[in-house]
Amino acid sequence: MADRGTASVETLEAIADAFNAHDLGAIMEFFAEDCALDMPRGPDPWGRRCTGKAAVRDALASRFAGLPDVHYGDARHWVSGEFGVSEWLLTGTAPDGRAVRVRGCDHYEFRDGRVVRKDSYWKIVET
C-alpha cells in the first residue's frame, strides 16, 4: 500500500480505492486536519467549500448517501510536486433510481504528506 498522504500516483490510486470501498475512515486518513474540499456544485464559483476534517467527512458521507453505489472507474492519475490529479468516470444510482454516469477529476494539493485540498469537477451531462 502507498505511504498515506505522499504525493504519488500510488497514493492517488490508494485514495481512489478507499473511495470505491466507501470507507470514510480510510479516506480521511489521507487528509490533514485543516483540509478543504471544494464540491463541484454550490453557491460560489468554486462550488461549495467544506473546511476542516469533520466538515469534509460529512460532505463525503453525503456523497455516499446520494449515490449509494458510487464507483470511480477508468481512472488516470498523475503528480507534479505537491499537486496531483485524478481523472475518472463516476457511475452510480441515485436514490430515485436515476443512473448517473459522468466524467470528472479531482485536483489534490498535499502538504507535509497529507491532502490539504481536494477540488472536484464534474462534466455537466444534459439529457
Note whether residue 95 is domain-resident.
yes
Mean pLDDT per 10-residue interval, the chain, length 127 residues? 69 96 97 97 93 98 95 97 97 95 98 95 88
pLDDT number for residue 123: 93
Note whether residue 1 is domain-resident.
no
Note whether residue 4 is domain-resident.
no
Note whether residue 76 is domain-resident.
yes
pLDDT number for residue 1: 42
Spatial distance between the Cα atoms of 91 and 69, rounded to a whole number of angstroms: 8
Note whether residue 21 is domain-resident.
yes
For the record, the C-alpha cell of 64 comes out as 455516499
pLDDT number for residue 113: 83
Note whether residue 3 is domain-resident.
no
Q: By residue range, what is the domain housing residue 28?
A: 9-122
Residue 74, judged by CB atoms within 10 A of its CB (0-12, 13-18, 19+), counts as exposed
Torsion of CA 64, 3, 73, 22, to 10 degrees: -20
Q: Is the dihedral of CA 30, 111, 56, 101 positive or negative?
A: negative
Backbone angles phi, psi at 111, to 5 degrees: -145, 130
Spatial distance between the Cα atoms of 119 and 83, rounded to a whole number of angstroms: 11
pLDDT number for residue 126: 86
Domain count within the chain: 1
Here the CATH number for the domain that contains residue 15 is 3.10.450.50
pLDDT number for residue 3: 54
Note whether residue 40 is domain-resident.
yes
